[in-house]
Amino acid sequence: MSLTRLLVPASLALLTACATQPKQNVTLEKQSQCPVRLNSGQNLILSLPSNPTTGYRWSIQDSAGGVLKGLGPEVYRNPEDAGVVGAAGVSTWRFQAFAGGTGRLRLTYQQPWAPEVPPVETFDCAISVN
């Protein structure tokens, strides 16, 4: 059998496998992108606008713990091009889908020392994992 006759079917099989693979990372930046459907093993990257210099912080109220596991703490970054002290940045969390089912990813944006004051923002997203 010629090398070409072997390579063509192998190439097609590889292309088919790649086409059916879901993206490994799903990025979520707005509540309007919800609900989110993931496959087990996929990573969810949540990035929300944040400005800790005002005293406000995002706090996870429900981490969809039955279907997602955290891959580390919140990471805050300030855009380098802002050039202004106290400028807003982005808080990012990473999760991995590990079990089939559904859950809610809920966060509130408020000053931690004033829990009796309603949050100025909330993020609430339904998550389903296959």
Q: What is the number of alpha carbons within 13 Å of residue 67 lying toward its C-beta? A: 20
CA 106 to chain centre: 12
pTM: 0.78
Q: What is the pLDDT of residue 14?
A: 47
The C-alpha atoms of residue 118 and residue 53 are separated, in whole angstroms, by 19
Q: How many CB atoms lie within 10 A of CB 69?
A: 14
Measured in degrees and rounded to the nearest 5, phi and psi for residue 113 equal -85, 0
Note whether 125 and 105 are within 8 A (CB): yes
42-58 pLDDT, tens digit each: 999 999 999 988 999 99
Q: Is the pLDDT higher at 43 or at 16?
A: 43
Residue 4, burial from CB neighbour count under 10 angstroms (0-12, 13-18, 19+): exposed
Note whether 110 and 57 are within 8 A (CB): yes
80-111 pLDDT, tens digit each: 665 676 778 999 999 999 999 999 999 999 99
**Mean pLDDT, rounded, of the chain:** 86
